[in-house]
Amino acid sequence: MDQSNTPPDHRSPPDGAGRRVYEHLRTQIADGTLGPGAALPSTRALAADMGVSRTTVTTAYEQLSAEGFIVTSGGRVACVASPLAAHPAPRPARRARKAPPLSEFGRRVAAIEMPAAVPADAGHVDFLYGAVAFRDFPVLAWRRAYQAQLLRHQERLCYAPPEGDADLRRALRGYLARARGLRCDAEQIVVVHGSQQAIDLCARLLLDPGDRFVFEDPGYLMARRSFEAAGGRAVPVPVDAHGLVTSALADDRPARLAYVTPSHQFPLGGVLPIARRRELLQWATRHEAWVVEDDYDGEFRYGQRPVDALQSIDQDGRVLYVGTFSKALSPQLRLGYLVLPADLVPVFRQAKRLADRHAPLLEQRVLAALIDSGAYERHVRRVRRENERRRAALLEAVARHLPAQAHVGGTAAGLHVVLWLPWLAPADEPAIAAGARRKKVGLHPLSPLFAHGDADPRPRGAGFILGYASLDADAIDRGVRLLAAAIRAHASG
């Protein structure tokens, strides 16, 4: 038997091995890799790592200690001495002589202007949409289920199926039927890394560069950017208090897909009536177009049963339903799912496998266990009540602190409302947001979500998206009071 590439078995130090160990550590200390106070590896571990004897390492440590770079005492692990030069050594310049080009997709991505996510400072009341309260997360139930799944024996740890864990898909099928009136087989479900990945996969698999897509105006910017990065051209269709104005869907500008939020239009909050739902599906059939239904907060409807998903009345297999755990659990989990027309299942599975193999298995199994035990639906009901209270506090605070002309839209569902200030102009929004920020209130203007920004030709006032799911009632009241002050200051400024 010939074992090619087998390393030599002996580990006698090569010439100058002690010097090599010394220089290795010296460099790491000089450039900050091993910062002041950092523990050095044990002599045994470093000896094994560098393929030298332990004596060699000890000698190098002694040298470094003698030179004052490290501190050793008795049998304790050696530490880097402090203070040393606090800053790492300058690195070699990393600029390419002539950088190779990006792909066309890369150039489109690089050209997209996205507002940098500005994290709110601590202590701010941030009406950030998409954030949820830390204390709403079901820590105990999650921890218990996580521990159980962590200890659950597996024959080996290997890649899992791209479409997601079978138990989770089966549990989701039942949940979606109970909660969203959505009928599907578990086979139609693909588990993804949050709704953003669902949208990105739709963009990649369904749109070619130059293709048109119907987009709600105003609408969800991150979805629009994904479709544009794929080379799509947005066809903005206006939105009113009931969602997408389907009568404005033009027959002369064929589109490959429509991206819609029928359960709770983002951002304006309308719930699409059944007649418009039918009209949208008929349009899709007429144009051989796909419909991407983003049900981003469909669990949160107040005062009545949530409206069934658009997917539930789709007869032709045109609707791709997008669901997420970001609102009911946490946006930091990065877990969501697609419910696909049966024809699209194979290509989405394959694309998911190429994109990143599959969603993390342990978290999928935790979710499956929580849904199966009923804990997930109890949690959703509890959070829905919490958010109903927050919504009430917000409406009260607006009535208390803001002029009577202010009005609030989109309150029937979801985790945000839109605050309209009809006596102000869209162009006033940035100044008011800046004033609010100085008062420690995070405020998010509406205009960037319109296709034409604050140059939108339709007559409308200034508007702000007020997300409330991460705030308690006191913070909501304080935030609206400070926001009212910022509006007054703007008027008098």
CB of 243 to its own copies, least distance (A): 10
Sign of CA dihedral 88, 94, 95, 101: negative
Three-state secondary structure call for residue 339: strand
CB of 288 to its own copies, least distance (A): 4
Q: Taking the C-alpha atoms of 133, 134, 135 and 140 in order, what is their torsion angle to the nearest 10 degrees?
A: 130
Contacts of 160 (CB under 8 A, 6+ apart): 357, 358, 361, 364
- Interatomic CA distance for residues 296 and 262, integer angstroms: 10
Instruction: Find the shortest distance in angstroms from Cβ 452 to its own copies.
Output: 22
Tokens of 210: 């130059």
222 vs 427, beta carbon nearer its own copies: 222
DSSP for 47-99, written as a single string: HHHHT--HHHHHHHHHHHHHTTSEE--TTSPPEE-SS--SSPPPPPP---SSP
Half-sphere exposure of 253 (CA within 13 A, CB side): 15
Question: Measured from the CB atom, is 74 or 210 closer to its own copies?
Answer: 210
Q: Residue 219 or residue 270: which is nearer to its own copies going by CB?
A: 270
The answer for residues whose C-beta is within 8 angstroms of residue 215's C-beta and 6 or more apart is: 223, 224, 227, 234, 235, 236, 237, 258, 259, 451
Report the run of H or E that residue 417 belongs to, with start and end.
strand 416-421
| Minimum CB distance to its own copies smaller for 237 or for 333 | 333
Backbone angles phi, psi at 164, to 5 degrees: 110, 170
Which CB sits closer to its own copies, 197 or 246? 197
Q: Which is nearer to its own copies, 86 or 122 (CB)?
A: 122
- Cβ at position 456, least distance to its own copies in Å: 19
In the numeric block, the tokens 């209270």 are attached to 389
Q: How far is the CB of 64 from its own copies (least distance, A)?
A: 15
Phi, psi of 273 (to 5 degrees): -70, 160
Question: Whole-number minimum distance, CB 493 to its own copies, in Å?
Answer: 24
Question: Residue for token digits 């909050």?
Answer: 269
Cα atoms found within 13 Å of the Cα of residue 363, Cβ hemisphere only? 15
Q: Helix, strand, or coil here: 38?
A: coil
- Pick 301 or 431: Cβ nearer its own copies: 301
CA angle 135, 137, 139 (to 5 degrees): 100
Q: How far is the CB of 128 from its own copies (least distance, A)?
A: 6
Q: In this complex, which beta carbon is closest to its own copies, that of residue 82 or of residue 147?
A: 147
| Minimum CB distance to its own copies, residue 300 (Å) | 12
Cβ proximity to its own copies, 270 vs 445, nearer residue = 270
What is the separation of C-alpha 236 from the centre of its chain, rounded to a whole number of angstroms?
Answer: 24
Please state the closest distance from residue 362 (CB atom) to its own copies, in A. Answer: 7
**Closest to its own copies by CB, 143 or 438:** 143
Distance separating the N- and C-terminal Cα atoms of the chain: 87
Q: Closest distance between its own copies and the C-beta of residue 130, in Å?
A: 6
Calculate the dihedral angle through the C-alpha atoms of 291, 303, 462, 436, rounding to the nearest 10 degrees: -120
Q: Please state the closest distance from residue 363 (CB atom) to its own copies, in A.
A: 7
Q: Which long-range contacts (CB under 8 A, 24 or more apart) does 150-155 make?
A: 150/362, 152/365
Phi-psi group of 303: left, alpha or beta (phi > 0 → left; psi -120 to 50 → alpha; rest → beta):
left
Cis, bond preceding 267 (omega within 30 deg of 0): yes
Which tokens go with 53? 């004897």
Nearer to its own copies, 23 or 67 (CB): 23
The nearer residue to its own copies, 353 or 431, going by C-beta atoms, is 353
Least Å distance, CB 307 to its own copies, is 11
